[in-house]
Amino acid sequence: MTTTSDAPEIDHTPVVRARHFGLAVLALAMGGFAIGTTEFVTMGLLPQISEGVEVSIPTGGHVISAYALGVVVGAPIPAFPGARLPRRALLVALMVAFALGNAASALATSYGALMVARFAAGLPHGAYFGVASLLAASMASPARKGRAVAAVMLGLSVANVVGVPAATRLGQNLGWRTAFWVVTALGVVTLALVLAFVPSCPGDSEASGRRELGAFRLPQVWLTPVAGAIGFGGMFAVYTYIAPTVTEVGGLGESAVPVFLFSFGLGMVAGTGWPG
């Protein structure tokens, strides 16, 4: 008797050909770099942001939670309403939403407005990586699909090592809003690169909510997000307040915060390859 776990997987990813494969993957990775930068730079600039919207640092930390909530709400987009849509078009829409959310963050004049803006900026986060990974896989040969997806995710790793420390330093010197304007510009650059180099790709015509939800019949599917939630919850509990930890607990100046962010980013990159 064939069970759900014994049934062979069907690859519904359509095959597309990019005229410039390397540039297409670079365009997708650039989006990951922009998203990674905006996600973590808020932590590096938390004292400045809290002061800017006139709240305490613990209250300001809720701005980071608002972004995370946006990620959770927006992540299922590729699996449900967006599954049948053309993937490049969906990617473009997500990046437009990302740029607008970060522009709204830069323009926010109150704590409430910033909370809404950060929630909106987080909505495309998980969906972007899902769609970008599918696009990268669809452009690559069977032997290179894994490398293509890894290249897209590399943008997130580079953001932690380069983008976050640099944007934090910039925000310290020119004001925290500057960091969000820089991220907005990165979103616009990503948008241009995607339109220029990423080929059009149809959605999955066989996609349905019932098919996607069917995976939740497997216990392993439930265990994976629970383990991830516990692990990342602990990590973010520390990382969220890294700036005040460095300055108030460690007694170091603001200029030391980007150094610690850089070190944290290196640890993330090193840890990613540790099991292998």
Q: What are the tens digits of pLDDT across the range 146-170?
A: 888 888 888 888 998 999 999 999 9
Instruction: Give the amino acid at 275.
Output: P
Q: Residue 241 phi/psi, 5° resolution?
A: -110, 30
Name the maximum alpha-carbon separation found in the chain. 66
Q: Residues of the chain with pLDDT > 70: what percent?
A: 84
Boundaries of every domain in the chain: 21-203+215-272
* pLDDT tens profile 230-239: 887 888 788 8
Q: What is the pLDDT of residue 1?
A: 39
Lookup: tokens for 165: 């420390």
Q: Is the pLDDT of residue 45 over 90?
A: yes
Mean pLDDT for all residues in the chain: 84
Per DSSP (E only), the strands in 30-138 are none
CA-CA distance, 7 to 47, in Å (whole number)?
Answer: 52
Distance CA 266, CA 270 (A): 6
DSSP H helices, 159-218, are 164-174, 176-197, 209-213
- Average pLDDT for residues 96-123, to the nearest whole number? 96
Alpha carbon distance 82, 237 (integer Å) = 32
Identify which of 61-65, 86-90, 260-264 has the greatest average pLDDT.
61-65
| Mean local confidence (pLDDT), 246-265 | 90
Superfamily of domain 21-203+215-272: MFS general substrate transporter like domains (1.20.1250.20)
Contact by Cβ (8 Å): 2, 151: no
Q: Residue 252 in 3-state DSSP?
A: coil
Cα–Cα distance between 90 and 129 in angstroms, integer?
12
C-alpha–C-alpha distance, residues 63 and 65, integer Å: 5
Residue the block writes with tokens 């007694």: 251
Confidence tier at 3 by pLDDT (50, 70, 90): very low
What's the pTM value of the predicted model, to 2 decimals? 0.82
pLDDT over 50 (residue 4)? no
